[in-house]
Amino acid sequence: MSAPMTAGPAQAHVEHDGFHTAYHDVGAGPPVLLVHGSGPGVSALANWRGTLASPLADDHRLIAPDVAGFGRTQTAYELTHETRVRHLVGFLDALGLDRVDVVGNSMGGALALALAHRHPDRVRRMVLMGTVGIAFPIPDGLDRVWGYEPSLEAMAELVGLFAHDRDVVGPDLVRLRYEASIAPGVHERYAAAFAAPRQRHVDEMALSEDDLRGIGTPVRLLHGAEDRVIPLEATSLRLVRLLPRADLVVFSRCGHWTQIERATDFVREVASFFTD
């Protein structure tokens, strides 16, 4: 788990529609939008560092923005689900991308589903990992993630919650995420975006069952069997029955971090699905 300590690819910036979006752009080929999840200290690089450096970039253009409210992306808009969806649509417009494949992680999966629902012509295929986007009672794990108050101890507890394999959790990773979570203005934005009562944030991200049945985009759902943040049974097992063109792959001995704990398998699934 030494990857998070490397510098990572350079970050670009684009201004559009009241947003200053920071993003990473690597590789060449068909465009793939990588949409990260929520969590204290999260950014595109923190979530997708290994993916950006993987063989997936040999055949695809990987574009990973800091979602509105995270990382170095800036906006004066209220940090809601609606704002985040509007931000991603405007970001695609700003880069001149009419149609993309999308990989959405957790909250990013809900954003991907919203894109496919509202703009079906813009999303060719989707891979959704430990995704939200369907109504379910907020679990204790997610409530703890969104209710984070900065301390090294609290960050260590959350990082351990994300991973089934505690060997991927080390003091360097904990400190890196903790320091990111206390950068100027970061926690204030995070606390405002996911203020209690937190069930309402799950509900805001959820599409109705009828809306989900109407999404014709091909989808591959990936989920860790031991996910304690977004439970498999409450989300992906229901989504695979509702989305008309979805398949589900469940990774054993894996928590919420499929792209880290099962990195090789994750890249293989994405590559095979997007090149079919």
Give 134's strand partners.
207
Sign of CA dihedral 249, 250, 256, 260: negative
Main-chain dihedrals φ then ψ at residue 50, nearest 5 degrees: -65, -35
| Residues forming the active site | 106, 227, 256
Nearest CA to 136 out of 30, 212, 192, 35 is that of 212
- Give dist(CA 250, CA 75) in Å, integer: 36
What is the Cα–Cα distance from 232 to 200, expressed in whole angstroms? 20
Task: Give the span between the Cα atoms of 274 and 259, in whole angstroms.
Answer: 16
Distance CA 122, CA 92 (A): 9
Say which residues have a Cβ less than 8 Å from residue 57's Cβ, sequence separation at least 6. 26, 27
Using CA atoms, how far residue 6 sits from 2, 9, 134, 272, in Å, is 8, 9, 35, 27
d(CA 24, CA 62): 8
Beta bridge partners of 126: 102, 219
Q: Please, are residues 47 and 36 in contact by the beta-carbon 8 Å criterion?
A: yes
